[in-house]
Amino acid sequence: MSAKEKVPAVVANFVDERTGAAKWMKKNLTKVFPDHWSFLLGEIVLYSFIILLATGTFLTFWFDPSSKEVIYNGAYEPLKGLKMSAAYESALHISFDVRGGLLMRQIHHWAAIIFMAAMIIHLLRVYFTGAFRKPREFNWVIGIGLLTLGIIEGFLGYSLPDDLLSGTGIRITEAIIQAFPVVGSYLAFFVFGGGFPGESFIPRIYTVHVLLLPGIFLALITAHLMLVWYQKHTQYPGPGRTEKNVVGYPLMPIYMAKAGGFFFVVFGVTALLGAVASMNPIWLYGPYTPGQISAGSQPDFYMGWIDGLVRMSPPLETHLLGHTISWNILIPGLIVPGILFTGMALYPFIESWMTGDKREHHLLDRPRNAPNRTALGAMSLAFILVVLLNGGNDLIATHFHLSINSIMWFTRIGVIVIPPIVFVITKRLCLSLQRADRELVLHGRETGRLVMTPEGEFIEVHEELTPEKKWTLTSHEQAPALSVPTEDASGVRNPQGIRGKIRARFAVAHAEQIPAATASEAKELGHGHH
């Protein structure tokens, strides 16, 4: 053994003698993970978070989280001599006077956008494939928690510069806080340290943005990865893949090399976007003053849907016992988001209750094979997209020369009508795709070749599918609907009451399927081909 080869061995032996890590490292570094491109979505979330931490640390060196009034005398000529907060002045200083400051601001903001977008798509992948089922319910809840915290963290982040655009968003937030019945005004005074805008808000959200929420993020991401490690990764169905095994490649050296390379790809794309695509040009808006509002004030996409809900809400107020309840703010700003996020967090338990399925699942579903779940997800996305559209109604009106009232009423009606239509269409599409899969297994793949029979008939030759393809198309489980008893042991009717009736109806709807092709059916049709 050469001297160069001895060094790693000596180091490894040194560490093992003091920590006993060799056995643990050998076991875990050879752990097998399945391979599929959709699993990279979670990695994008992780790498974007790392970029956010690195660039955010850089920005803290020069940012002054203070609401004290100063006179701007920096490099940006149009704002020279204006009174502004120290926070806004320092943000301008970072953008125009600090070497690489603007690039870091841009990368930081783009990383936040990619972080949220990747997290949303990752959660959609988990939902539509059924990866949230037992034993991964807690990981799903952690994911919903990360999404919620990400929305809050993003909002606090673009509120820090204290420009006119961010101030408009803060003013809307104050209105949502005040919408809490009875205690709303007290909460607003606590958050802002007095009347709006106050002088305590910027320092407080700075502490939350750079210290509290990143710490919670780190804890939740660590818990998420530990659970993934312990519970094993899910895998897509295929030959040789069962609920009891994992087909893939070891962590070392394959995935470590791929992960390292992919991190630099994500960082490179983020840096490119930060260099060539302008993001949040705060100097165009000027400092925030309570008496002004920016035209076309649009939040980032992950907050835009809440803004759209608030915009479409009609003016409804109730005066009760000396208190005014602003339903036009309370419902869209607090109740509807609360229902949505609570429903998402509880969905694994709701589906398990509907189906009565308490087993562990490590194989993923094809979305078409769970039509009810897929249709529900599509309906929810349709709801979000409609209200998000309304969140930009002013810009849509000016760019396309439309009436803002027409857009408003279209989205008000559409938010009620479009989601159910999307549900029905999606479920029918899933069932149609199941029929297509069944026909493909029974009759084979169309080849486009026509032959003439001795009788003069022209038929298309179908090619039989490979055993691997057939297995993929027919291996999914089609469990019957949960049977809810109508009588108990004593003959008492409806022992579970209304709850049992609801459960039975949901179970029947969830179990609606097109029967998968069987081997005997394929054999009767001539082995599936002409």
Mean pLDDT of 7-31: 69
Q: Check residue 528 and give its pLDDT.
A: 42
| pLDDT value for 60 | 95
What is the rounded distance in angstroms from the CA atom of residue 29 to the CA atom of residue 13?
17
DSSP for 220-288, please give it. HHHHHHHHHHHH---B---TT--TT---SEEIIIIIHHHHHHHHHHHHHHHHHHHHHS----GGGT-B-
pLDDT tens by residue, 440-486 = 888 888 887 888 888 888 888 888 888 888 888 887 777 777 666 66
pLDDT at 238: 80
Greater confidence, 11 or 119? Answer: 119
Q: Is pLDDT above 90 for 325?
A: no
**HEC-encoded secondary structure of 148-163:** HHHHHHHHHHHHCCCE
* Cis ω before 197 (30° cut-off from 0): yes
Rounded to two decimals, what is the model's pTM? 0.89
Counted residue by residue, the chain has a size of 530
Tell me the pLDDT band of 502, cut-offs 50, 70 and 90: confident
User: What backbone torsions phi and psi does residue 270 show, to the nearest 5 degrees?
Assistant: -65, -45
pLDDT at 366 over 50: yes
Least confident residue range of 326-335, 422-431, 465-474, 487-496: 487-496
Determine the Cα–Cα distance for residues 94 and 99; give it in Å rounded to an integer: 8
Amino acid of residue 153: E
Who has greater pLDDT, 199 or 364?
Answer: 364
Lowest mean pLDDT among 110-114, 175-179, 332-336: 175-179
Give the pLDDT score at 519: 64
Q: What is the pLDDT of residues 51-102, one digit of tens each?
A: 999 999 999 999 999 989 999 998 999 999 999 999 999 999 999 999 999 9
Whether residue 350 is predicted with pLDDT greater than 50 in this model: the reply is yes
Is the pLDDT score of 265 beyond 90?
yes
Tell me what the mean pLDDT of segment 502-506 comes to: 73
Q: Residue 286 — very low, low, confident or very high, per pLDDT cuts 50/70/90? A: confident
When pLDDT is cut at 50, 70 and 90, the band that residue 336 belongs to is very high
421 — pLDDT class (breaks 50, 70, 90): very high
Phi then psi for 65, rounded to 5 degrees? -80, 70
Q: What is the pLDDT of residue 55?
A: 96
Residue 515's pLDDT band (cuts 50, 70, 90): confident
pLDDT of amino acid 252:
77
Pairing of strands 317-320, 249-250: unpaired
| pLDDT value at 361 more than 80 | yes
pLDDT of 295 over the 60 cut: no
Task: Give the pLDDT of residue 513.
Answer: 81
pLDDT at 518 over 90: no
- If you compute the radius of gyration of the chain from its CA atoms, what whole number of angstroms results? 29
Q: Which of the residue ranges 289-293, 356-360, 431-435 would you say has the lowest mean pLDDT?
A: 289-293
Out of 87-91, 165-169, 210-214, 417-421, least confident range: 165-169
| Per-residue confidence (pLDDT) for residue 280, from 0 to 100 | 87
pLDDT band at 491 (very low <50, low <70, confident <90, very high): low
Q: What is the 3-state secondary structure (H, E, C) of 462-525?
A: EECCCHHHHHHHHCCCCCCCCCCCCECCCCCECCCHHHHHHHHHHHHHHCCCCCCCCHHHHHHC
Q: Residue 9 — pLDDT band, cuts 50, 70, 90?
A: low
359: DSSP letter: S
**Is the per-residue pLDDT at 143 higher than 60?**
yes
Span 35-54, mean pLDDT?
93
Residue 23 has pLDDT above 60, yes or no: yes
Which has more pLDDT, 513 or 361? 361
**What pLDDT sits at residue 3?**
60
User: Residue 120: CB partners within 8 Å, gap ≥ 6?
Assistant: 147, 302
- Neighbouring CB atoms inside 10 A of 98's CB total 17
139 falls in which pLDDT band (50, 70, 90)?
Answer: very high
What the chain holds in terms of domains, given with CATH numbers, is 36-292+303-365 (1.20.810.10)
**Mean pLDDT score of the chain, rounded to an integer?**
86
Query: Which single residue is written with the structure tokens 């030759």?
Result: 461
Most confident of 265-274, 314-323, 393-402, 478-487: 265-274
